[in-house]
């Protein structure tokens, strides 16, 4: 199970990087990862929202609006994008 969760998180972070690049954001933020999870129809969070009858599209729109507030740059590449400290702190395992 841990392997599946790790693989899913890697996929979600990769999608979050793509979202950040598309938005021309300098850093990948936690909200980019959450958006990646919500837009992935196979994600655990999306299945939980479905079971709770919560409209994921509404949340998706709110997060997109939130992400639009991040600074944008004219040129950004996958090699130059950074992971925000906030995101690192939130996904780092602390025993």
Q: Give 5 or 53, the one with higher predicted confidence.
A: 53
Classify 25 as helix, strand or coil. Answer: strand
Residue 93 within any structural domain of the chain: no
83: part of which helix (H) or strand (E)?
strand 82-83
Residue 47 within any structural domain of the chain: yes
pLDDT class for 95, splitting at 50, 70, 90? low
Residue 95 within any structural domain of the chain: no
* Residue 25 domain boundaries: 2-88
Residue 83 within any structural domain of the chain: yes
Residue 72 makes CB contacts below 8 A (sequence gap 6+) with: 23, 24, 25
Of the candidates 89, 91, 95, 74, which has an alpha carbon nearest to the alpha carbon of residue 9?
A: 91
Residue 36 within any structural domain of the chain: yes
CATH number at residue 18: 1.10.1780.10
Residue 52 within any structural domain of the chain: yes
The total domain count for the chain is 1
pLDDT digits (tens, 9 = 90+) for 8-52: 888 889 999 999 999 999 999 999 999 999 998 888 888 899 999
């Amino acid at each position: 199970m841990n392997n599946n969760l790790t693989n899913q998180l890697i996929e979600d972070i990769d999608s979050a990087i793509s979202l950040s690049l598309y938005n021309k954001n300098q850093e990948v933020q936690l909200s980019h990862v959450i958006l990646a999870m919500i837009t992935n129809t196979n994600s655990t969070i999306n299945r939980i929202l479905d079971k709770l009858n919560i409209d994921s599209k509404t949340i998706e729109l709110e997060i997109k609006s939130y992400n639009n507030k991040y600074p944008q740059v004219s040129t950004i590449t996958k090699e130059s994008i950074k992971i925000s400290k906030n995101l690192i702190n939130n996904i780092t395992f602390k025993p």
